[in-house]
Structure 1
Amino acid sequence: MTMLKLFGIIFFCGLLSPTQEVSSGLSCAISAGAIQKVLSDTMLDNGLLQKHLQGLVVPNIMGDGGLLSSPTSITGLHLVKVWLPKLSVVLLPGIGVQLTITAKLGLSGDCLVGLFSEIIDITVDVNITANIKCKNFESGTVQVIIEDCLCILGAVKIKVLSGLLSLSVNEIVLKQLTATLPTLLCPVVDIVMKLVSIQLMGTFNAVIPVATAGTIHYQLASLPFTSGLFLGLDLDGAVKHVGGSIIPHDSSPSPLPPLLDRLLVLVIRQSFLNAVLALLIQLLPQSVPCSPDAFSSASHLQEAVMTLVPAECSACHGTSPLGITLTLAGNPLILLEENKATVELLVMIQVFVKHLDGPVLNLLLLKADLSLNAHMSITGGRLVLGVSLAGISLSLESSDVGISSISNLKPHCSDLLVETLLPLINGALGMGIPMPNMLGIPLTKADIRILLGLLAIFV
């Protein structure tokens, strides 16, 4: 129980500067209930609490017995059992986290009353309350501290085989336990808290590969903060190419959506998504064969272009086949509106003739501004995007043969891009964007909501 308490303390600690705005690439609000469940599950399953309480030894208890009682000594009193503790969490706005652990401890030792020696068993109810804070934020890390730790004893039961302990002995035991147990249990909580803080930091301070394209380095952007309803964390997400260069994204603040009755909400800024898309969508220029056996849309575009070529252009009507090249221009741009996500992409379409004994003749160079509907889902802890063509705007950049009207080419270019380029883009996006592992809470049965400039993942 104490261990669970500690883990929860660490996670909630450091809540010093309350705010409800996202000041970095990502932000997360976690409910008190979710934290309590994570702490309970993690600490009990790992046996961390039991492990650090195993060596608990209580100082010897001595009583002189007075005029009517024999001298009493209880030695070797040590912890033999911890009944399943219970943990509760209260978030203190602007202050931190208050954790309360209740547990029943079983102690055993040797009891000597006068000349009579026997085994003594003691059970004691304990209630440990600690206020946890984080301070000294630096480079994605914080220092976890216990500001206050209060241990109160409840019911105490004492048993010996003979059952011949006097009331004065019971009073001596209770007095000594009241004086010594708090000084023993609070340091255990402090030790466990430090261990758990290391484990917790690892859940949101991590470098995660994005396939072979690069990495995302998640880390705390500032001290955690609390409201009365949730623990808030702002995260930086540094997006890097394989070579180490960082893809920048801005960090202007945005409001957090209400958590309501969910375990957590992970909020991702539009600018961060744009940086990751620039990492994922890196396609080399694509040469598209005009054979009907390969892409029918390419053959149809070729036929439509040839109807626009002036008859006097002899170089255009030779035996050399046409070539088509698709080239991405610039980085993709995602736009998040209420209940709608759109990816804008610029593609250059070149249709040309290359004679064996001559230079490339540029029949057309077209600029295609694509508007793509983006569909999102969470799979295996990754945000997976898929796109479909919503619209295309086509403009003529240049033509070496004097073509000026391209109005009839739009449907053929649309078909070509859907048939050749979109599968490549969806293949790149299908690798997914790895999400930070916030306290190990799995992003299962996630509900994705698209807001203005924000993507919110509710669990």
Structure 2
Amino acid sequence: MLKMCYPFLLCLLSLQLEANPGLKVRITQKGLDYGRRIGMELLKQAVLKETFPSWSGQESFSFVKVNYRISGLRINTLDFPETSASFIPGTGISLSVARASATISADWRMKAWLLRDQGGITVSISGLFIAVVFEVSRDTTGRLSVLLHNCQLIINSVKVKLNGGSSWVYSFLSHYLEKPIQTKLDKNLCLNIKYKIQMMDAQLRKLKVLSPIDAFAQIDYALVSPPAVFKSHVNLDLKGTVYPVGNHTDPPFVPAPFALPNQDDSMLYLGVSNYFLKSASLAYYRAGLFNITISQELATSFNLTTSIFNDFVPEIGLYHVTAHPVLLKLMATSPPAVSLQADGCSLHITGCVDVFAVLPNSTIQYLFTGNLTASTRANLTVTKQKLIISLLLKRLRFSLLHSIAGFSEQVSQVENFLSYALQSVVIPVINGKLGQGFPLPNLARTVLIRPVMKMNQGHLVISTDVLYKQKGGGDEDLHSHS
């Protein structure tokens, strides 16, 4: 009976280990095609700059052994007239290059019995076909991993042209070098591709999954499951938890499942869940972002002294005939509650306020304490690769807890004053800190082009194209040709 329970227990454990993501990224065929064009152009630039090792060989000609050496190898031209990329469901990405051609130049030296000679060489390669399949997966640290799954190579023609040297040397080397060059390419090209992919994978393993937002918080971009590769796209499920800097304790809530739309008009789709925003709210609450003290210096739009209360709390004026500066200490008493709905995003803040008078000797005197509940609308925009959140106060409720003077009849007037203080001082301060934005998952050296945001129940979706920016600030605007 116990043995029969094992499969069920393993299945249950595997389900528990599969965490729902806080963020989703989808790369479509349109995005893959753009990446292919950019990638082939970058590959071409890199190969044209690359240096290659020399090699030596020996051939027999009319019973004479001839030793030769090829050095100074460099690729002069490279052409990829036909390239294609596609998703391989369950595996990764297939990339093929057909009818490629290249011209290579080098220096040659040869030595035989009583004979030495040297000159230049030009190699023309045509009809080159390469098909490579990359396997994408997730490593144990949650980083993306890329491995070579398969590599096929066909070379239709290799032609050698020599410059310099004796005529018989020319006919000898021209004939005998074509075969070893093709053999060397057949043997080493896929090995070189495998090595380059291994280097890429090593670089991916060095990437930090924790991305800083500001001095207060950072985002965990670790994969929670292996990439899901389908015929038309690949999905990446990211943890999407925002932590306070130095504190990676998971929130006391978990992400709810959500799905990206079944669309492929854009290169990239980014899904942001309510969980992501809730974890951000908790992180900033723990970091004290929602605790603000309003002083006379900060309240530039009104005169923050005890005299401001005289009209609606005259009892306070009895204690302070002479006007004194006032401090308003506002503190969130719980993490602001975030709600994503189809018609927008809202933030509900619960807190308290302590009000003090600042006496001439710089000591403070307590005036009153109350509870606050503020309902705000959160406007979400995408700017410079970041999700920007700005708050707008919709409603404030105030209830008096304690005071040096009873003014229960004037609570509504105090509520109006505090509402004005929040709108004019507190919300702008919070927006200034939130204005740095949350960095969105993004491909290396790309910027989002014409992002469109759609709000849904429990999550939002950003659909966008991307533009590759070359190192040094130049733009490779290939997406406009797609």
Structure 1 residue 92 displacement after superposition: 0.8
Question: In the alignment, residue 234 of structure 1 is paired with which amino acid?
Answer: D
Structure 1 residue 384 displacement after superposition: 2.0
Rate the CA distance shift 1:42–1:178 in 2: closer, same or farther, 3 A: closer
Residue 244 of structure 1 pairs with residue 270 of structure 2: no
Equivalent in the alignment of 2:24? 27
Matches within 5 A, 1:355-370: 363=368, 365-370=369-374
Which of residues 30, 49, 52 is equivalent to 2:47? 49
Corresponding residue SS for 2:448: coil
Rate the CA distance shift 1:134–1:166 in 2: closer, same or farther, 3 A: same
The CA distance in 1 between the partners of 2:294 and 2:343, in whole Å, is: 36
The CA distance in 2 between the partners of 1:225 and 1:300, in whole Å, is: 64
Equivalent in the alignment of 1:272? 276
Equivalent in the alignment of 2:237? 234
Equivalent in the alignment of 2:156? 154
Equivalent in the alignment of 1:101? 97
Which of residues 278, 281, 289 is equivalent to 1:282? 289
Deviation string 1:391-445 (CA, Å, 9 cap, x unpaired) is 2334444556554453454433322211221121111112222334423322344
- TM-score scaled to structure 2, two decimals? 0.71
The CA distance in 2 between the partners of 1:158 and 1:268, in whole Å, is: 57
Structure of greater relative contact order (alpha carbons < 8 Å, 6+ residues apart): 1
Question: In the alignment, residue 302 of structure 2 is paired with which amino acid?
Answer: F
Deviation string 1:106-156 (CA, Å, 9 cap, x unpaired) is 3457699x9998865331232111111135621123543212110011344
Contact 2:244 2:283 (C-alpha < 8 Å) held by counterparts: yes
Deviation string 1:37-73 (CA, Å, 9 cap, x unpaired) is 4465467448433455x326677585879xxxx9997
Contact 2:143 2:209 (C-alpha < 8 Å) held by counterparts: no
Structure 1 residue 389 displacement after superposition: 1.4
Question: In the alignment, residue 48 of structure 1 is paired with which amino acid?
Answer: A
Give 5+ residue unaligned stretches, structure 1: 1-20, 310-314
Give 5+ residue unaligned stretches, structure 2: 1-17, 465-482
Which of residues 272, 275, 295 is equivalent to 2:302? 295
Contact 1:285 1:325 (C-alpha < 8 Å) held by counterparts: yes
Which of residues 219, 222, 228 is equivalent to 1:219? 222
Which of residues 72, 81, 84 is equivalent to 2:75? 81
Corresponding residue SS for 1:244: coil
Question: In the alignment, residue 148 of structure 1 is paired with which amino acid?
Answer: N
Structure 1 residue 227 displacement after superposition: 1.6
Contact 2:291 2:329 (C-alpha < 8 Å) held by counterparts: no
Rate the CA distance shift 1:272–1:123 in 2: closer, same or farther, 3 A: same
* CA RMSD across the alignment: 4.4
Equivalent in the alignment of 2:424? 419
Structure 1 residue 264 displacement after superposition: 1.2
Rate the CA distance shift 1:63–1:30 in 2: closer, same or farther, 3 A: farther
Rate the CA distance shift 1:225–1:83 in 2: closer, same or farther, 3 A: farther
Rate the CA distance shift 1:49–1:137 in 2: closer, same or farther, 3 A: same
Corresponding residue SS for 2:239: strand
Aligned residues: 425
Structure 1 residue 34 displacement after superposition: 3.1
Equivalent in the alignment of 2:433? 428
